[in-house]
Chain A
Amino acid sequence: MIPRPFEYHAPRTLPEALALLGEHGDTAKLLAGGHSLLPMMKLRFAQPDHLIDLGGLAELKGIREENGVLWIGAMTTENELIWSTLLQTRCPLLVEGARQIADPQVRYRGTLGGDLSHGDPGNDHPALMIALDAAFVLQGPAGERTVAADGFFVGTYATLLGPDEIMTGIRIPVPAPGTGHCYAKLKRKTGDFATAAAAVTLRLAGSIVEHVRIALTNLGDTVIRAVDAEHALSGKPFDASALDEAARRAMAACNPLPDLRGDADYKRAMAGEMTRRALETAHQRATNPARC
């Protein structure tokens, strides 16, 4: 319950925050919503000497659309995602996903950027971001760079975010009209991390699958893009055999760790089932968006 002592910094601007990060290096941690970091500090899993609170940086907040791309500030909270009328109409997958994350109080604090930067394979946003073909804007001492969500997550708690960088925003291309979507998450109870979950975006040209992306949550040491499963559907009619094959390939892409949520076989089977359900719902929504 009691964290180790540390120094607290509350910069007001991004350059100030970057300077503090540069000054304190590996002994510093960025504090966003604090709903992964503080719990780890309370259990002494993390013991930083310096906390740099990003809560005062207005430039890291907000949701807007610019030329067909949604920009979401990294410090935007889960509830702000859920309640955004822009996202509800332009990117409903993100809203559907955020509604399945944690609980109301946690969603008032936890941020999109923090969920992503944490690099926990149990977090839901990595899969959502890959399904949405998002990119992350990272600001370092030498300037800004943008990296794709697909490839950003390299291991458990490990991402491409450098120790001297701050994620400032998330860029999501507005899904084309007619894009179906679904986030199917199996969990033991509200607020739990997924036993298995699948994020899907899918678009049809007639009866042929023109676009599909499948990403899996908590089924390996990091989020998994199920590329083989996508290939089972891409350019083919969306039928039972293609769906079966996609689910089989999603299972094959998993490398789940056994824990209290189940053994590897169970999780792998549930990965197939969540993939199937997410694809079916995304297909329905792509076929008949008005009814969803």
Chain B
Amino acid sequence: MSSKTMVSFMLNGSEVDVVVEPRELLIHTLRERCQHTGPHIGCETSHCGACTVDFNGMSVKSCTLLTVQAQGAEVRTVEGLAEGGTLHALQEGFMQEHGLQCGFCTPGMLMRAYRLLQENPAPTEAEIRYWMAGNLCRCTGYQNIVKAVEYAARKLRGEAAETSHPLIEADAANAH
């Protein structure tokens, strides 16, 4: 049996110390020790991206990273996306554009899109699809996820963030 190691990292702005076996995967530490259960596990072959977190400015699949590799790292999970109870533009976009159904891929989708929009604040549809390709979704067929990312991109650029669903707007107008 291998000896345990103390690992310290920043998780959503707070310092975390954990004592882990070297073989422990970051996803398990986040979920089981830190009780950040937003990141999910959808596979064991590093394909699905449900475990995606932001790690030192990179989108990483936390199922393919050892917790011991997180020593000194800055980690952000979906739990750290909203600020003061206000949803991040991406969370709002996924809601407005119906970019989720079962919600299992959503935390990983959000965290990947979070990094994507910092690297490319005005992506084309093709760029969104290409740079989100590490995240699988079984429910949505991706169309509304693309719209959700576009919505968030517009909002983060300070442009009018209008939903692409005219019926929702019409309903909202009628309600007044």
Contacts and interface: CB of A to CB of B under 8 A. Distances in A.
B175 to A, nearest CB: 40
Most chain A CB inside 10 Å of its own CB: which residue of B3, B64, B66, B68: B64
Nearest to B22: A8
B59 A108 contact: yes
A82 B63 CA distance: 24
A10 B46 CA distance: 23
A108 B60 contact: yes
B134 interface: yes
B112 interface: yes
B49 A5 contact: no
A105 B134 contact: yes
A104 B134 contact: yes
Most chain B CB inside 10 Å of its own CB: which residue of A1, A8, A10, A102: A8
A103 B1 contact: no
Contact of B2 (A6, A103, A191): A6
B131 interface: yes
Interface string B40-57: 010011110100100000
Contacts of B63: 1, 42
A285 B103 CA distance: 45
A190 interface: yes
B133 A103 contact: yes
A269 interface: no
B60 A105 contact: yes
Interface in B70-102: 71
Nearest to B49: A105
A39 interface: yes
A104 B21 CA distance: 28
Most chain B CB inside 10 Å of its own CB: which residue of A43, A51, A79: A51
Nearest to A103: B134
A103 B60 CA distance: 11
Interface residues of B, number: 33
A51 B22 CA distance: 9
Most chain A CB inside 10 Å of its own CB: which residue of B23, B52, B63: B23
Interface string A90-128: 000000000000111110110000000000000000000
Interface residues of A, number: 29
A103 B5 CA distance: 31
Contact of A106 (B3, B46, B71): B46
B5 A104 contact: no
B112 A104 contact: yes
A39 B22 contact: no
B22 A104 contact: no
A9 to B, nearest CB: 9
B16 interface: no
B69 interface: yes
Contact of A8 (B5, B58, B61, B131): B5
Interface in B128-149: 130-134
B133 A104 contact: yes
B64 A34 contact: yes
Nearest to A39: B46
A103 B49 contact: yes
A39 B44 CA distance: 7
Interface of A: 1-8, 10, 34-35, 38-39, 41-43, 51, 53, 55, 79, 102-106, 108-109, 190-191
Given A4-B23, A53-B69, A108-B59, 6 more contacts: A8-B2, A38-B64, A42-B44, A43-B45, A109-B58, A190-B130
Q: Which 10 A-B pairs have the closest CB atoms?
A: A103-B134, A8-B22, A108-B58, A190-B133, A105-B134, A1-B44, A5-B2, A3-B23, A105-B61, A103-B133
Interface of B: 1-3, 5, 21-23, 25, 41, 44-47, 49, 52, 58-61, 63-66, 68-69, 71, 112, 116, 130-134
11 contacts: A5-B1, A5-B2, A5-B23, A8-B22, A34-B69, A39-B46, A41-B23, A103-B49, A104-B112, A105-B58, A105-B61
